[in-house]
């Protein structure tokens, strides 16, 4: 695949059809991811409604500083990858690489902060293995939801890294950059999941 004279794959009539198909494919995949996370969101909702006070007490123990900081980090990373896509759209490969590098760095910092936060939570005994039953339930949901999210973020980091590499190898141009666009869509989705996790986990029981 030559970035300057890209050709559509054999099953497609032209590049435009290929691009649209790829985009629809990624949106379909994102729909599956919404359903996947939705199930754990349901568990959270059911138990939050059933045990509002105990849930709030347990949630208020979480590190809201790291949680809020991480939310800001992901929002910023989303901005940078959107910027990266619009750069390569205008044939600015080097700027796109820079933008994606910033995205990657921010995502990586998120994971570092999360790891530290887990370490801190465990030291404070905010764990599913001991304590008041509903608190244990809350932390089980907390670790499961944020853990699955972190897994998706890690996969995102791998894919973004691959895109940075391919940009470096000049495999993308204004005429062909679909993989970067799809990577962007995936990254934004991971951001959106966290946008919901943040108030669900960190902003409960904080009223003074």
- Residues of span 27-46 touching other proteins by CB under 8 A: 27-43, 45-46
72 in helix, strand or coil? helix
Q: Does 192 bind other proteins (CB under 8 A)?
A: yes
Instruction: Output the furthest CA–CA distance in the chain (Å, rounded).
Output: 63
Among 3, 58, 141, 167, binds other proteins (CB under 8 A): 141
List, in sequence order, every residue forming a beta bridge with 176; answer none if it has no partner: 173
From the CB of 12, what's the least distance to other proteins, in Å? 8
Q: Are 101 and 162 in contact (CB under 8 A)?
A: no
Helix (H, G, I), strand (E, B) or coil at 173: strand
- In the complex, what is the shortest distance from the CB of residue 97 to other proteins, in angstroms, rounded to a whole number? 16
HSE at residue 1, side-chain half, CA atoms within 13 A, is 18
The answer to whether 12 and 21 are in contact (CB under 8 A) is yes
- Please report whether residue 53 would count as binding other proteins according to CB under 8 A: no
Among 23, 61, 154, 173, binds other proteins (CB under 8 A): 23
Please say whether the beta carbons of 156 and 103 come within 8 A: no
Q: Tell me: does residue 140 bind other proteins (CB under 8 A).
A: yes
Give the three-class secondary structure for 176: strand
Q: Are 192 and 32 in contact (CB under 8 A)?
A: no
Q: Compute the least distance from the CB of residue 191 to other proteins, in Å.
A: 6
Applying CB under 8 A, among 3, 96, 100, 137 the residue interacting with other proteins is 137
Does 118 contact other proteins by CB under 8 A?
no
For the segment 57-116, give every residue that binds other proteins (CB under 8 A): 64, 68, 71-72, 75-76, 78-79, 81-83, 86, 90
Cα–Cα–Cα angle for 128, 189, 147, rounded to 5 degrees: 20
Query: Residues in contact with other proteins, total (CB under 8 A)?
Result: 72
- Residue whose pair of structure tokens reads 């799809």 in the numeric block: 182
Residue 15 binds to other proteins (criterion: CB under 8 A): no
Any contact of residue 155 with other proteins (CB under 8 A)?
A: no
State the nearest-atom distance from the C-beta of 4 to other proteins, in Å: 21
């Amino acid at each position: 695949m030559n970035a300057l004279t890209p050709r559509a794959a054999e099953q497609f009539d032209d590049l435009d059809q290929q691009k649209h198909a790829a985009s629809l494919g990624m949106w379909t995949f994102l729909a599956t991811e919404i359903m996947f996370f939705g199930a754990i969101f349901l568990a959270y909702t059911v138990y939050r409604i059933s045990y509002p006070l105990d849930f709030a007490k347990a949630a208020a123990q979480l590190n809201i500083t790291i949680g809020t900081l991480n939310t800001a980090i992901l929002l910023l990373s989303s901005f940078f990858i959107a910027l990266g896509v619009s750069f390569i759209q205008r044939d600015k490969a080097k700027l796109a690489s820079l933008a994606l590098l910033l995205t990657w760095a921010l995502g990586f910092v998120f994971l570092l902060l999360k790891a530290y936060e887990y370490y801190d939570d465990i030291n404070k005994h905010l764990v599913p293995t001991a304590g008041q039953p509903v608190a244990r339930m809350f932390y089980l949901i907390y670790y499961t939801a944020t853990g699955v999210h972190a897994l998706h973020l890690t996969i995102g980091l791998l894919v973004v890294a691959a895109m940075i590499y391919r940009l470096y190898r000049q495999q993308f141009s204004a005429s062909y950059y679909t993989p970067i666009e799809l990577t962007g869509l995936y990254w934004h989705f991971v951001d959106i999941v966290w946008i919901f996790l943040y108030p669900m986990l960190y902003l409960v029981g904080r009223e003074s």
